[in-house]
Amino acid sequence: MKKISLFTLSALVGGLLFFSSCTKETIETDKANGAVLQENDVPDGRKTITYSVSVVSANGCQTGRVAGISGARVTLVQGAVTVTRTTNQSGVAVFTNLGPGQVTGYAEAPGAVGMNFTAVLNTSSEVSDKDLVEFAASMVALFETNGKAQGFVRADWDLNAVTPASFDRPVSIPGNPRMKVDYTLTSATYLTAVNGTPTATPRSGTLTAVSLDKVSFSGNVITDGSYFINNVPTIPSGYGLSATLNMVDFGIPAPAGSTSNRQRVFRMVPVPLSTVLTPCSDDLYIPDQLLNLLP
């Protein structure tokens, strides 16, 4: 076995101490100069958004204010990802791990008209090496289908009336004319109701577009001239919803002995219903509608 001389051992130890001292001194100097603060100077934390959608009834008959709808379904689409959540007891559905940008959604609940919506999710300018979670929220108000449109149509079915006041309530109508209630939603009014007063920088979750899933409800006029259209949306104030009662043009055969075989065609002038189909009202009866005979 070879022996290490005292000189050789001393030189080796001295070299290690010199290297250690130089390395420590170099690192301390670099730190003082701000050169070695972290692995890099670019924050690389991941930022995600937790998005809450509150589904409420626009009618508010029981409390006089909007109320969350438990058990509603909210479907959200961002990019190629589609997720569906059910609202909790407070009417809120929560979506996690979303990114900034536009999302489209659809909210539905039993006894209400579904609503399509678009929202924009924003993130703050804060940056960090740590993962960050930010929050966004929207409110979607649904219109309950708890209304009923009912009444009678009258017309000069046998062509013997002198004035509209003497138009007949028919004993029998051949066929079944279709009565319908058509709805229109003014988006700007609705968006103000759910978003609040617009601000210079819209908050994250602000709705930017909405549309009703169903806009027309219909029912037949039966042989005695009466009609019933059940389960139509009632119209709360302040949300931009309006409705019109109308009838599809209705033709009946020419009377016996007529010199013309041309059908008699009747048309109704559309009637606004916004003051009739009001929420929480038991009186949804519509006055008799007079049908005009087309030339």
Amino acid at 172: S
pLDDT tens by residue, 136-151? 999 999 999 988 888 8
Comparison of pLDDT for 174 and 114, the residue scoring more = 114
Name the pTM for this structure.
0.77
pLDDT tens by residue, 115-124? 999 999 998 8
**Using 50, 70 and 90 to split pLDDT, how confident is the model at 31?**
very low
Give me the mean pLDDT over the 231-256 stretch: 85
Alpha-carbon separation of residue 265 from 110, 157, 222 (angstroms): 38, 10, 17
Residue 24: what pLDDT? 47
Least confident of 79-88, 136-145, 251-260: 251-260
**Using 50, 70 and 90 to split pLDDT, how confident is the model at 267?**
confident
Q: Is the dihedral of CA 275, 277, 279, 282 positive or negative?
A: positive
Nearest partner of 72 among 31, 108, 119, judged by Cα = 108
Residue 241: what pLDDT? 94
Residue 172: what pLDDT? 67
Residue 2: what pLDDT? 47
Please report the domains of the chain, with CATH numbers, ordered by start residue. 47-142 (2.60.40.10), 147-185+214-293 (2.60.40)
Q: For residues 187 and 239, give the distance between their C-alpha atoms in angstroms, rounded to a whole number.
A: 8
pLDDT tens by residue, 204-243? 999 999 999 999 999 888 878 888 888 889 888 889 999 9
**Using 50, 70 and 90 to split pLDDT, how confident is the model at 41?**
low
Mean pLDDT of the chain: 79
Q: What is the DSSP letter of 252?
A: E
Tokens of 90: 């407070």
Q: For residues 274 and 147, give the distance between their C-alpha atoms in angstroms, rounded to a whole number.
A: 12
Burial class of residue 136, CB neighbours in 10 A (0-12, 13-18, 19+): buried
Residue 284: what pLDDT? 58
Nearest partner of 243 among 204, 203, 286, 282, judged by Cα = 286
